[in-house]
Structure 1
Amino acid sequence: MYQQIFDPVLGQLGLSALVAAIPLLVLFVLLGVFRWKAQWAGLSALAVAALIAVAVYGMPIVQTLSAGGYGAASSFLTVIWILVNALWIFKLTESTGHFGVLRRSFAGVSDDQRIQVIIIAFAFGALLEALAGAGTPVAISAVMLIALGLPPFRAAVASLVANTAPVAFGALSVPITTLSKVTGLDFEALGAIAGRQTSVVATIVPLVLVFLVDGRRGVRAVWPAAVVAGLAFGAGQFIFSNYISVELADIGAALSCAIFLVAFLRVWRPREPLTVAAVPVVAGGSGTGSVEEEAALLERAGQDSRKNVILAYLPYAVVGLPRQ
């Protein structure tokens, strides 16, 4: 059985780490400098990684190919599959007009796009991370932000940044569980330490999100709400991971953030809300079918019924259900 050697380059761990990082460097250079398409840059980096595994680390060719195939299958069955279905849900709810219902629902909490980003990408995204993980919060949050009028690239970046604090306790703390099994260290102790670190990071994430959406002007305008959201999330994550349950750290943090932020917005509002035009509903077909008619009706509706609100949130609730 193949046993990995951690310092194959002249017996130096640092030099070996630099060689092991070459595939990542190749990926970044091809994507960022030469502007290659993602699939070709990824395949090129994979080829370099396989070459280094065989030539430097002495990994058998059959095992190298098997590991590459396993990684490709794992990424497709988790992250890529989630992204495909997230886009499908986006198109479905866009065609039926229920994204308009979502927009009005979030506007009921705040019509300010900067605060909506905190609610969706940070609080709601953390809840999705806690229940599902595996790319779900980024994929779902991004398409919801796009529906609220955020440019696609900015929506993706905001969703990724928002997931920095919750990801350590993703999918009911699977990363902590895995770390405990690999290292043999106590699960509760690892979770408590992680909670003390990520809770500090969480306090500034909402401010970063606001800056991404509206720059310094946005930070000056809504920093009180961002600070409340960050402190509430960080406190929830710290308390749950250290004193209640490591597995429930993100759930407690997300709920704490949402509750305190909504309560704060009842007594404080930004002086100049940042609002954008609603994303128009583009339905397929001839325009005479029942789906198109329902979409147009929902878009014109002044007040949404409870049924329509439930139907608008239902696809995301289903995606966010915990998996075994």
Structure 2
Amino acid sequence: MFQALTDPVAGNLGLSALVACVPLLTFFVMLIGVKAKAHISAAVALVAALIVAVVAFQMPIGYALISATQGAAFGAFPIVYIILLAVWFYEVTVRSGRSEDLRRFFDKVGGGDIRIQAMLIAFSFGGLLEALAGFGAPIAITATMILALGVKPKRAALAVMLANTAPVAYGAVATPITTAGNMVAGGDASVASATAQHVAAIVGYQAPLFALSVPLLLVIILDGKRGARECWIPAMVVGGSFAITQWWCSNHFAYELTDVVAALVSMAALVAFMRFWKPRGVEAVRKDFGLPPVTAEAASELNGTRIFMALVPYIVVVLVFGICKLGIPSLLSSTDIKIAWPVISGGTILSAAGKDPGTTFTLNLLSTPGTMLLVAGMISALIYTIFNEKGRYQMSMGAAVQELGKTCYRMRFSALTIVLVLSLAYVMNFSGQTISIGEFLAGAGPAFAFISPLLGWVGTAVTGSDTSANALFSSLQYSAAQANPALANVTPDLFLAANTMGGVVGKMISPQSLAIAAVATDEREADIMKSVLPWSVGFLVVLCCLVFLQSGILSFILP
């Protein structure tokens, strides 16, 4: 039997925590200093974690290796499974040709005002893409669409990077939050689900504050004071509807669908609003951006049927998730298979508290959001196949399956990175490295509430993934909060939410996001970094203050 210790290095907690940081520092140095690929960096960090576990934390090497395999299994299923299906779902809409109609729809709604069109594309549609795909897809797609409007590359890059903040917490059908719940649940699927739901609800009292302000910031970036003066009302309509829906869905609906519903509602709200409100200064703005005057031709290209068909996949995914999450969740979860992980389960390894650290793996084939996305994607592909229009739209069930294969191949290195990061996280958790760091940070007292989001910010800034940041730091945040006497009356789930939201504001400065934006806009990564860094740091400071207040005088507002 092996039981983790918090101070195995010379009986000193501070020294043990410092040694426990070696795998994380290795990962960051490899990624930023050596500039190695993310999966190579994760692999080297995993080796470092295994060495620290065996040499410093006295974990038998066999147990350490087996712990890594359980982490890899969880990384592959459900995490990678969800992400692959989310990206594939969007690719089905692209392959069908209907996504181009969606772009024309945005042109029509904006009334020729590129500021409103850019806001709708970067924020609302980008939020929808983040909800379904994530991992840079929203940045690449929306940047290209905004450039086509006539926006200058540097402004386009900054706009899409800033817009890709508010939806990140619930991105890829809320995979970051699901991961956070699983990392602290000890292998209990019901506890993981309840924790994730609570974390999602708390995030629902944080993310909407950013969602409310981002659309207005976008029009300021695009057109300065004139943009704020002439477009602040539609910006508030978009941001306000998104924020309210984000709060409602995260607290009262299926949290995995939070951004899907919020994005669709914000689009619908703007469409309805633009029927009664006309933008000012449109021709002056178009002239400044080097665009021709507005003509009626673009508006006449679409009809109601084509618009509806472009929205069909997103309507289907809401219906599928609604049925599965609200109608038959118990039926689906009853098919879950619990697997006691070989060698290390049954009390073979224990946490520092003398409990099972989570050596049971849950195979939830039907209740996972990945399978729901698969069903929604196939239904959408079938609808598009039945209502195919030769010469304009081409789709078949065979093409949808082919697209799934392409998605798996294209995402292979991202998938490998996630698997390795989860392996790293499990080794650190089971060996006691994470709890050692957490115990040490607990000594920060009430100040821990202020610095908590910084961990998620750093983790996502380096890895490019809020999911990876939660895999790395969720257990640390949770254990630090539990061990901190000054936070005894505060739910530890607040700090899982803080880690998630820290990742939200750190996403815009991650090397992965910068590289994608640079490719899409043909701008230098360093120039984009200079533009977005002040925004990221500013958002982080606001978030740190918010979490600190929510841990104290504003704790009454938390669910």
| Fold shared per TM-score above 0.5 | yes
**1:195 corresponds to which residue?**
204
The reply on whether 1:116 has 2:121 as its aligned counterpart is: yes
Q: 1:148 to 1:72 in 2, by over 3 A?
A: farther
Please tell me whether Structure 1 or Structure 2 has the larger radius of gyration of its CA atoms.
2
- Retained in 1: the 8 A contact 2:87–2:134? no
The reply on whether 1:303 has 2:301 as its aligned counterpart is: yes
* Structure 2 gap segments, 5+ residues each: 148-152, 292-297, 322-365, 368-559
Deviation, structure 1 residue 55: 2.0
Deviation, structure 1 residue 119: 0.8
Question: Take 1:155 and 1:70, find their aligned partners in 2: how far apart are those partners?
Answer: 40
Amino acid at match of 1:166: Y
Deviations 1:180-237 (A, max 9, x none): 95698986876654433333344344456668x7596797475554444333333344
Question: Take 1:7 and 1:144, find their aligned partners in 2: how far apart are those partners?
Answer: 48
- Retained in 2: the 8 A contact 1:210–1:219? yes
Q: TM-score, normalised by structure 1?
A: 0.63
Question: Take 1:303 and 1:317, find their aligned partners in 2: how far apart are those partners?
Answer: 23
Q: 3-state DSSP class of the match of 1:162?
A: coil
Deviation, structure 1 residue 118: 0.9
Question: Take 1:125 and 1:93, find their aligned partners in 2: how far apart are those partners?
Answer: 11
Deviation, structure 1 residue 52: 1.7
Q: 3-state DSSP class of the match of 1:166?
A: helix
Q: 1:71 to 1:102 in 2, by over 3 A?
A: farther
Amino acid at match of 2:167: N
* Structure 1 gap segments, 5+ residues each: 130-135, 278-299
**1:48 corresponds to which residue?**
48
Structure 2 residue aligned with 1:234, among 237, 243, 262? 243
Q: 3-state DSSP class of the match of 2:279?
A: coil
Q: 3-state DSSP class of the match of 2:206?
A: helix
- Retained in 1: the 8 A contact 2:170–2:177? no
Amino acid at match of 2:30: L
**2:442 corresponds to which residue?**
none
Amino acid at match of 2:242: F
Q: 1:51 to 1:264 in 2, by over 3 A?
A: farther
**1:286 corresponds to which residue?**
none
Q: Percent same amino acid among aligned pairs?
A: 28
Question: Take 1:276 and 1:83, find their aligned partners in 2: how far apart are those partners?
Answer: 39
Question: Take 1:235 and 1:190, find their aligned partners in 2: how far apart are those partners?
Answer: 17
For residues 1-324 of structure 1, what are the structure 2 equivalents within 5 Å?
Answer: 1-11=1-11, 13-77=13-77, 80=80, 97-110=97-110, 111=114, 112-122=117-127, 124-125=128-129, 128=131, 136-138=133-135, 141-142=138-139, 144-145=141-142, 148-149=145-146, 157=161, 161-166=165-170, 170=174, 174=178, 193-206=202-215, 214=222, 220=228, 222=231, 224-239=233-248, 244=252, 247=255, 250=258, 253-254=262-263, 256-266=265-275, 267=277, 269=279, 271=281, 272=285, 303-304=301-302, 308-309=306-307, 312-313=310-311, 321-322=320-321, 324=367
Q: 1:301 to 1:88 in 2, by over 3 A?
A: farther
Amino acid at match of 1:141: P
Amino acid at match of 1:170: A
Say which structure, 1 or 2, has more relative contact order (CA 8 Å, 6+ apart). 2
- Retained in 1: the 8 A contact 2:90–2:129? no
Q: 1:97 to 1:23 in 2, by over 3 A?
A: same
Question: Take 2:177 and 2:305, find their aligned partners in 1: how far apart are those partners?
Answer: 34
Q: 1:247 to 1:39 in 2, by over 3 A?
A: closer
Q: 1:162 to 1:190 in 2, by over 3 A?
A: closer
Deviation, structure 1 residue 96: 5.7
Deviation, structure 1 residue 35: 2.0
Q: 3-state DSSP class of the match of 1:196?
A: coil
- Retained in 2: the 8 A contact 1:113–1:275? no
Amino acid at match of 2:243: G
Q: Which moved more, 1:163-172 or 1:20-29?
A: 163-172
Deviation, structure 1 residue 107: 2.3
Question: Take 2:33 and 2:51, find their aligned partners in 1: how far apart are those partners?
Answer: 23
Deviations 1:9-45 (A, max 9, x none): 4555555444333323222222223222233222212
- Retained in 2: the 8 A contact 1:145–1:155? no
Deviations 1:95-132 (A, max 9, x none): 6644422311232333522331111123x257x36xxx
Question: Take 1:83 and 1:65, find their aligned partners in 2: how far apart are those partners?
Answer: 26
- Retained in 1: the 8 A contact 2:169–2:177? no
Q: TM-score, normalised by structure 2?
A: 0.40
Amino acid at match of 1:250: T
Q: 3-state DSSP class of the match of 1:59?
A: coil
Q: 3-state DSSP class of the match of 1:269?
A: coil
Deviation, structure 1 residue 88: 6.0
Note the aligned Cα RMSD (angstroms).
4.9
Q: 1:30 to 1:197 in 2, by over 3 A?
A: same
Q: 1:172 to 1:93 in 2, by over 3 A?
A: closer
Deviations 1:76-106 (A, max 9, x none): 4555556656666676665664442231123
Amino acid at match of 1:145: T
Q: How many residues align?
A: 292
Deviations 1:222-273 (A, max 9, x none): 555444433333334445556x457488266555544444444442537436
Deviations 1:150-179 (A, max 9, x none): 689879855752334536993697468658
- Retained in 1: the 8 A contact 2:93–2:99? yes
- Retained in 2: the 8 A contact 1:169–1:175? no
